[in-house]
Every structure is written in structure tokens, then in C-alpha cells.
Amino acid sequence: MNKEMLGKILMLWLAFLVFAFSIFIFYQYEQKKPQSASEDTAAQTPTPTPGPSRPISKWATDSAILQIEEELKSVSDSVDNVDLKESGLFPPLLDMQVKF
């Protein structure tokens, strides 16, 4: 192998090292780069546009209606939370066949 050939190989090797180093630097830069503005906006919760408010009737402040409304909420909670399984009260599993 002559000197000229060796010089070419070294040049190619150097070029490859420079290329690899450049890729490494670019990759590091991309990692450290702050998130883009579009991603930030995507995470934000959109504020709903307030719709047209419904006019309140003269019965809205009626004590009887307010009481019914309150009682309905209480009954609704009871209906939602009622235990209709009672699995804790299933008959106990017992060994009934005692044999020797």
C-alpha cells in the first residue's frame, strides 16, 4: 500500500468522523430544543363559548319547587348508590359431608 492510498483512506475516515459528529450534535440539539408552540396549545383546555342563557321563570324561586329539586337530588343519590347485590350475605360455603 503506497502513501497516497493511505492518505485517501485517512481522508475518508476523517470525513466519516466529521459526518458522524455532526449527526450527534444535531441529535443533541433536537433533544434539548423546547416543545413547539403548537403542542402547548393542544394541551390547553378550550374554554366553551357561553351559550344563550335561558330566562328564569317566576317559579324558579318558589320554595316548594326548590325543595322538590333538593329532595330529587337526595333520592337520586340513594338510587345510584343502592347495593342490589348483597354478596356479603350469600349463604356461607360449609363442608356438609362429614365422613370417616
Partner 1 sequence: MRKIKVVSLLFTVLLISFFTLLISRVPIFAQTQTPGFDFSKAYQDYIYNYNLYRDSHISYESAKGEYRNYQTLSAQTKALEATRDMLRKRDEVLRTYFTALRMKLVESTGVTNYDQSVSFLRLDTEVNWLAVHKDSLSSPSTLEDLVKSSQAVEGKNINFELLSYQSLGLILSGKENALREKINSQTDKIDTELEIMKKDGENVDKLQWWLIEAKKKINLSKDKQAAAETKINSLKDASYINNRQATYNKAQLLYEESNQYLKEGLNFLSEITDSIKYE
Number of residues near partner 1 (by CB under 8 A) = 35
Judge contact between 59 and 65, C-beta under 8 A: yes
3-state secondary structure of 51: coil
Q: How far is the CB of 40 from partner 1 (least distance, A)?
A: 38
Q: Any contact of residue 81 with partner 1 (CB under 8 A)?
A: no
**DSSP assigned state of 91:** P
Q: How far is the CB of 48 from partner 1 (least distance, A)?
A: 19
User: In the complex with partner 1, which residue's Cβ is closer, 35 or 53?
Assistant: 53
User: Which conformational region is residue 46 in: left (phi greater than 0), alpha (psi within -120 to 50 degrees), or beta?
Assistant: beta
Q: How far is the CB of 65 from partner 1 (least distance, A)?
A: 6
